[in-house]
Structure 1
Amino acid sequence: MTVEFRHFTALAPETRRALLDVYAEVRAPLLHEPNYRVEAFTDRLDRHLADAGFALVLGFDGAAPIGYAYGNTVEADDRYWQRMAEPLPDGFTATPVLAIKEIGVRAPWRGTGAARRMHDALLAGRAESRVMLMVNPLAGDGKVRRLYESWGYTPFNSQPASAVSPELTVMIRPTS
C-alpha cells in the first residue's frame, strides 16, 4: 500500500467531494451528534477555507482517498484565541501559529502511520514556528490524545464545551 499525499490551498468540486466522503466515513459513528454532522463540518470547512494560510493534505491509495489533514494560520487577533478557557501568557499570540483543524483516516489505513505522515506533510514548509490542535480528551478512551502526545504535542489550555461540543484539550508543539 503506497499512499500519495496531495496538497491543496483551494478546493475544486472533486477535491471537496473526496474530502466530504472521507469525513463522513471517518466520523460515521458520530454523525448523529450535531457538531459532527456533515452539514456542520461543511460550514466549518467553508469558514476555514476563507481563513489565512489554509492548507489541506489528502492522502490517496491509488485513486482512493484514504484520509486528510488540514489547518490554517492563526494570527494574534484571531477569534481562535478568544475561545481559550485560561488566559494566555503575555506575548503568546505575537507570532502566527498553524492550527490543525481536522485529521481523519479511513479505517483500513488506521494504524499504518498514514495520519502521522499526512500531519507531517501538512507541516512541511510552513512558516509558523508552532502548531496547535484540539482534541476531545475522551476520544478513543484517551487514545487520540496519547497519540498526539507521542507526536510531541503537550496540553496547554482548553476550549470550554459548547452546547454541541465537549470540552476540548488544546495541544501545542514546534512545527519542526
Structure 2
Amino acid sequence: MTTAPAIDLRTFTTLDDVRGDLIDVYAEVRAPLLHLPNYAVTAFGDRLDRHGADPGFVAVLAYAKGHPVGYGYGNTIERGDRYWQRICPAPTEKYTESPALALKEGGVRPAWRGTGTARRIHDALLATREEPYVTLMVNPAAGDGKVHALYRSWGYKDIGSSQPSPASPVLSVMIRAND
C-alpha cells in the first residue's frame, strides 16, 4: 500500500448536498462497466435516490484538495427487509434479529486505489453506527476476485448469495460484527 496524500472525510445523512459528488465518483469507478444496464449511471442514480430515502441513510466521502476521490454509503435494514429476503440460503436469525447496517455502495477512483482510502471511508462510516452487524454484497468477479478478498481481509465472511435485480450479477453476501 502506498501512502495517500491527505484526505478529508465528510459524513452526510441526506443526499441534498452530495448526490452530484457521488455520481461523479461512481462514473469513474465503474467506467469499464457503464455499458451494462445495471451499472449505467442512470441506474445508479435511481438506486442512490431510493437508498437515500431509506431509514438510517449515511454516506462518507473522501475529498482531496476539495475534489471527491471515494465514497461509501449504506442504511439500516430490519428483519423482513427485502435485502434479507433475497439471500439464499436465508440468513440465520443471529444476523436479522436486530437492525443491521447494509453497505449499499462504495468505490475509490482508480488513482486512489491501494492507498488505504477505501478502508478509511469504510471505518469512518461504521464509526457512525450502532447496529451490531454490517453486511454488504459484492460481485465475486470484481477486480478478478480482489475486492471479495479485500472484504474478507476486513473481517467479512460469506453467508449466501443474492441477485438484487434481473440485470444484476449474482452477488456474494458478506457480514461481520460492527465492532
Please report the TM-score for the alignment, with normalisation by the length of structure 2: 0.94
The corresponding residue for 1:7 is: 11
Q: For 1:125 and 1:132, locate their aligned partners in 2 and report how far apart those are by CA, in whole Å.
A: 15
The one-letter code sitting in structure 2 at the alignment partner of 1:7 is T
Runs (4+) off by over 6 Å: none
Q: For 1:37 and 1:4, locate their aligned partners in 2 and report how far apart those are by CA, in whole Å.
A: 28
Shift of 1:87: 2.3
Structure 2 residue aligned with 1:117, among 108, 114, 120? 120
Any stretches of 5+ residues in structure 2 without a counterpart? none
The corresponding residue for 2:153 is: 150
> Percent identity of the aligned residues?
58
The corresponding residue for 1:86 is: 89
Give the secondary-structure state (helix, strand or coil) at the position aligned to 1:112.
coil
Please report the TM-score for the alignment, with normalisation by the length of structure 1: 0.95
Any stretches of 5+ residues in structure 1 without a counterpart? none
Cα distance per residue 1:95-139 (max 9 Å; x no partner): 011000011000111100000000000000311011000011111
Give the secondary-structure state (helix, strand or coil) at the position aligned to 1:17.
helix
Q: For 1:90 and 1:118, locate their aligned partners in 2 and report how far apart those are by CA, in whole Å.
A: 29
Q: For 1:91 and 1:120, locate their aligned partners in 2 and report how far apart those are by CA, in whole Å.
A: 23
Shift of 1:90: 3.8
Q: 1:85·1:160 contact (CA, 8 Å) conserved in 2?
A: no
The corresponding residue for 1:16 is: 19
Cα distance per residue 1:19-69 (max 9 Å; x no partner): 111110111000000000011001111110111110000100011100000
Query: Are residues 1:51 and 2:54 paired?
Result: yes
Q: 2:61·2:70 contact (CA, 8 Å) conserved in 1?
A: yes
Structure 2 residue aligned with 1:66, among 54, 65, 69? 69
Q: For 1:127 and 1:32, locate their aligned partners in 2 and report how far apart those are by CA, in whole Å.
A: 37
More deviation in 161-170 or 77-86? 161-170
Q: How many residues align?
A: 175
Shift of 1:162: 4.3
Change (3 A) 1:107 1:92: closer
Q: 1:9·1:54 contact (CA, 8 Å) conserved in 2?
A: yes
Q: For 1:122 and 1:137, locate their aligned partners in 2 and report how far apart those are by CA, in whole Å.
A: 23
Shift of 1:161: 6.9
